[in-house]
Chain A
Amino acid sequence: MLKCNLSQLDNLFAAVAEAMPLYLPTQGKNGANYTKWQSGAVWSNTCNTQKGPKDLFFPQSEDLMAFKTQGKSIEIIDTRNEAEDFAVFGVRACDVKSLEILDRVFLSEPKDSYYASRREHGIIISLACNRPTENCFCGSFGIDASSPNGDVTCWLTEDALYLRANTEKGEKFMALAAPFVTECDDTAAEAQKEKIGKIMARLPLADLKTDAFGGGKTEEFFNSPQWEKLSESCLGCGTCTFVCPTCQCYDIRDYKTNDGVVRYRCWDSCMYSEFTRMAHGNNRNSQKERFRQRFMHKLVYFPENNDGVFSCVGCGRCLAKCPISMNIVKVMKALEGEQNG
C-alpha cells in the first residue's frame, strides 16, 4: 500500500498528465464529469459523475471509416487511430464493473477493435466511495463500493490518498506516481473500508434483491401485466440509456459529406421508435414494448447470455436523471412484488 498526502495530489496528477492524458471528474455547470486534466483543474470527489467513464472507451459517436469518391473510383479510408495510453482517475466501483460488462459485449468474438484498443491502453484508477448516495444500489449486484476493482484501487481519507496497484498497467501508473507517495500499511484503508461499509448498510436501497431475476425468467416476466402500468408515463426519451454506464446498443450510419461518405456509429436507445428498425418496419411499436425491452435486457436477457451477470451496476444515474422518475428500482420492486404476491 502506498500513501499520497493530499497536498501532493495535484503534483501527482501533473506528473501523470505529463506522461499520458489523464481524465478525472471535475465540476462543470451540470455537476461532475470526466474531463482531461489540465494545470489548474480541480478534481471533484462527488459521488457520482453525471455520466460514467463509458464515453472514454465507447464514445457517443465515432467515425468507423470514410469513403471518398473521385470520378469512378471510391477510396476507403481507415479513420481509426490506435489509442495511446491514458489514465482515468476516480472511477467508482460501479463504473469499474460497468466496463467489465461492456467487455463481455465488445471483447467477445468478433472483437470490437475500436473498443479493444482503448480498453487496452486505458489505465483505470478506481476510488472507494466515501459518500454513496440514496440512489446507489451497487450492493444488490454484488459490488463492493468500499473496495473497487481496476488497475489501481484508491481510498481517500481526510488527509491522504491510499493506493494499491492490482495489475501490470497499474504498476505503470504507480511508477509515475512514485515521487509523491510513501510506503505504508493497510490500517487507514481498512478503517475507511469499514466506515463506508456502515453507510452502505443504511442506504435506502440496501435491501433491494435481485434473486427474482436472471437468465431463464423470460416467460415469467415477459407477459407481466405490470409493464403497462410501469411504462404508462414513459416519455420515450433516451436519458436513461445515455447516462447508463452499461447500455451498449449502437447504430451504424452513413453520413453523406460533400464529396463522400463518413461511416460512423453512435449510441442508440431502445427507447427510441427507430431502434432496430428493419426493412419490414419495427418490431416494437409501443412504448410499453420498448420499455420492457430495456429492463428485460438488463435483468433477464443479458444474464442469460453472460453467466448470470446482470447488465446493471446500481450506479443510480437513471434514478437521478429520469424526467418522470421511473427507473429500474421501481421496475424490480413491482415485478418482484408480483412474484411474491
Chain B
Amino acid sequence: MQTVNTQTLIERASALLKDGTVSAVLGWKRGEFDYDMTPAVFTTEEELSAGFVYNDFCGANLSKYLLKKTREIQGKILVFLKPCDTYSFNQLLTEHRIHRENAYVIGVPCNGMADIHSIRKITGEGIARVELTDSGLLVHTLYDDAPVAVSYEDAMADRCKTCKSKKHVAYDELLGEEGDVLDSHRFDEVAKLEAMTPDERFAFWQGELSRCIRCNACRDVCPACTCEKCVFDNPDSGVENKAPGGDFEEKMFHIIRAFHVAGRCTDCGECSRVCPQDIPLHLLNRKFISDINKTYGEYQAGETADQRPPLVNFTQNDPEPSDVVKGGHDHA
C-alpha cells in the first residue's frame, strides 16, 4: 500500500495551481475499474477532485509525457514522479530533451506498484473489484467465488520486485521521507541467462521474441526513446517495417532498440510492463547495463543530470571487444 494518499496529492496540486506556480498537473486518472489508471493532464481543482488518483495501480512513468506536454502547455507543469521515474526525468535533462524550468517535480514515495497481470495470474480472470487494505489486496471476482487475498508483494509488478532505488534523484519538493538506493539483485536474471549455453540462450530468446507483434509499445513508452522519427518508422531507412518479417526482423528490432538506449536506459522497466505479449524486454536492457558496469565502471543512467553516457565516452585503455566477450559456443 502506498504511504501517500490521493487526497494529499490533490491538495498539494490544487494549492500550486491556485498560487500560479504551475499551470497544469500531470498525474494519473481513475478509470472504469479499480486498476486501470490513465496518465492525464489536470488544469483545474475540479478536474483533480473528479479524477486524480494515486494508489498501487499508478505504475505508469510520467516523465516521458513532459517531452510533449512542456511544448504544448505554457508555464510550469507539476509532475508527480516516483523514485524510478526521477531517473528518467534526469536522463531527459541530461540529453536536453526537456528544460528543467518547465517542470515542477513532486517526488512521491513508492512502495512498489501492483500489476493487474500479476494479480490475474493468482486470481484468474474476471476481477470485479480490488480493495486495497492495510494487510494486502482483497480481490473480488465476478463469479460466486470467495474474494481472494493477495499480498502486496505477490501483486507487485515484476520490475518492482527488483526495485533498484527508493531514492528520488530529482525533485522540487518531496512528499514523505527520502529513500535509499537498494541492493536489488536485478542482474540475477541476466546472470542466469549468461550461465546458459549459447544454444539454450538462442532457444530462450527465439521463444520470447517470436511472440513480438511489433506494436512498438516498448519503444513508444520508453522515456529514453525520444527520437523525433524512429528509424523503424522512417520509410527511407530501409528497415521500416510494420510487422516482423520473420525471426531476423524480430531480433533486429529488439537488438537495435536496446542498443540505442544502452547507457541511457535507467531501467525503469516500462518496456516490459507494457508488452502485450509478455516479453521480458528489460533483460535486454539490463544486459547492456550489466556489461557497461563490468567493463567501464559502475554507471547508473539518470543518477544526476550531467553525466556523460558511457557509449558516447571512452578511455584510451578500454578493453578490446575480443577481451570483453570471449563467447564460446558448443557447436563448432
- Interface residues, chain A, with chain B CB atoms under 8 Å away: 28-31, 46-47, 50-51, 60-61, 131-134, 199, 202-205, 229, 232-233, 235-239, 241-243, 251, 253, 255, 264, 266-269, 272-274, 277, 319, 321, 323-326, 329-330, 333
Chain A neighbourhood of B41, CB < 8 A: 232
Chain A neighbourhood of B229, CB < 8 A: 273
Q: Are A199 and B214 in contact (CB under 8 A)?
A: no
Q: Can you name the residue of chain B whose Cβ is closest to the Cβ of A243?
A: B276
For the complex, is B128 an interface residue (Cβ under 8 Å from A)?
A: yes
Q: Are A268 and B274 in contact (CB under 8 A)?
A: no
Q: For the complex formed, measure the closest distance between the CB of A327 and the CB atoms of chain B, giving whole angstroms.
A: 8
The 9 closest A-B pairs by CB, nearest first: A266-B243, A30-B278, A323-B274, A325-B36, A237-B217, A235-B220, A233-B39, A238-B215, A61-B243
Q: Can you name the residue of chain A whose Cβ is closest to the Cβ of B230?
A: A273
For the complex, is B60 an interface residue (Cβ under 8 Å from A)?
A: yes
Q: Are A60 and B243 in contact (CB under 8 A)?
A: yes
**27 pairs of residues in contact across A and B, judged by CB atoms under 8 Å:** A29-B207, A29-B278, A31-B278, A47-B125, A47-B126, A51-B213, A131-B126, A131-B143, A133-B126, A133-B142, A134-B33, A134-B142, A204-B32, A229-B40, A235-B220, A237-B219, A237-B274, A239-B217, A242-B215, A255-B245, A266-B241, A266-B245, A268-B242, A272-B233, A277-B235, A323-B220, A323-B221
Q: Are A30 and B244 in contact (CB under 8 A)?
A: no
Please provide the chain B residues from 39 to 55 with a CB less than 8 Å away from any CB of chain A in the complex.
39-41
CA–CA, A46 to B189, complex, Å?
A: 29
Chain B neighbourhood of A255, CB < 8 A: 245
Please provide the chain B residues from 106 to 165 with a CB less than 8 Å away from any CB of chain A in the complex.
125-128, 142-143
Chain A neighbourhood of B36, CB < 8 A: 319, 325
Chain A neighbourhood of B127, CB < 8 A: 133-134
CA–CA, A203 to B241, complex, Å?
A: 39
Q: For the complex formed, measure the closest distance between the CB of B142 and the CB atoms of chain A, giving whole angstroms.
A: 6
CA–CA, A279 to B215, complex, Å?
A: 25
* A238-B216 in contact given A204-B33, A243-B276, A264-B245 (Cβ < 8 Å): yes
Q: A50-B276, A134-B33 are in contact. List 11 more A-B contacts (CB 8 A).
A: A50-B277, A51-B213, A132-B142, A237-B221, A238-B242, A251-B242, A266-B243, A269-B215, A273-B229, A323-B274, A325-B38
B215 CB contact (under 8 Å) in A30, A239, A277: A239
Chain B neighbourhood of A329, CB < 8 A: 32
Chain A neighbourhood of B40, CB < 8 A: 229, 232-233
CA–CA, A29 to B273, complex, Å?
A: 15
* A330-B217 in contact given A50-B276, A134-B126, A232-B41 (Cβ < 8 Å): no
For the complex, is B200 an interface residue (Cβ under 8 Å from A)?
A: no
For the complex, is B18 an interface residue (Cβ under 8 Å from A)?
A: no
CA–CA, A268 to B244, complex, Å?
A: 12
CA–CA, A160 to B273, complex, Å?
A: 38
CA–CA, A278 to B37, complex, Å?
A: 36
Q: For the complex formed, measure the closest distance between the CB of B275 and the CB atoms of chain A, giving whole angstroms.
A: 8
Q: Are A199 and B242 in contact (CB under 8 A)?
A: no
For the complex, is B260 an interface residue (Cβ under 8 Å from A)?
A: no
Q: For the complex formed, measure the closest distance between the CB of A103 and the CB atoms of chain B, giving whole angstroms.
A: 22
Q: Are B220 and A133 in contact (CB under 8 A)?
A: no
Chain A neighbourhood of B179, CB < 8 A: none
Q: For the complex formed, measure the closest distance between the CB of B34 and the CB atoms of chain A, giving whole angstroms.
A: 10
Q: Provide the B179-221 mask, 1 if CB < 8 A to any CB of A, else 0.
A: 0000000000000000000000000000110010111110111
Q: For the complex formed, measure the closest distance between the CB of B308 and the CB atoms of chain A, giving whole angstroms.
A: 29
For the complex, is B240 an interface residue (Cβ under 8 Å from A)?
A: yes
Chain A neighbourhood of B125, CB < 8 A: 46-47, 131, 133
* A204-B217 in contact given A61-B244, A243-B276, A269-B242 (Cβ < 8 Å): no
Q: For the complex formed, measure the closest distance between the CB of B235 and the CB atoms of chain A, giving whole angstroms.
A: 6
CA–CA, A280 to B213, complex, Å?
A: 29
Q: Are B242 and A202 in contact (CB under 8 A)?
A: no
Chain A neighbourhood of B215, CB < 8 A: 237-239, 241-242, 269
Please provide the chain B residues from 214 to 269 with a CB less than 8 Å away from any CB of chain A in the complex.
214-217, 219-221, 229, 233, 235, 240-245
B60 CB contact (under 8 Å) in A29, A277, A324: A324
CA–CA, A324 to B274, complex, Å?
A: 8
A61 CB contact (under 8 Å) in B142, B217, B245: B245
Chain A neighbourhood of B37, CB < 8 A: 325
For the complex, is B176 an interface residue (Cβ under 8 Å from A)?
A: no
For the complex, is B299 an interface residue (Cβ under 8 Å from A)?
A: no
CA–CA, A47 to B125, complex, Å?
A: 7
Q: Can you name the residue of chain B whose Cβ is closest to the Cβ of A28?
A: B211
For the complex, is B31 an interface residue (Cβ under 8 Å from A)?
A: yes
Please provide the chain B residues from 49 to 87 with a CB less than 8 Å away from any CB of chain A in the complex.
60, 65
CA–CA, A67 to B279, complex, Å?
A: 35
Which interface residue of B65, B213, B235 has the most chain A CB atoms within 10 A?
B213
B276 CB contact (under 8 Å) in A205, A236, A239: A239
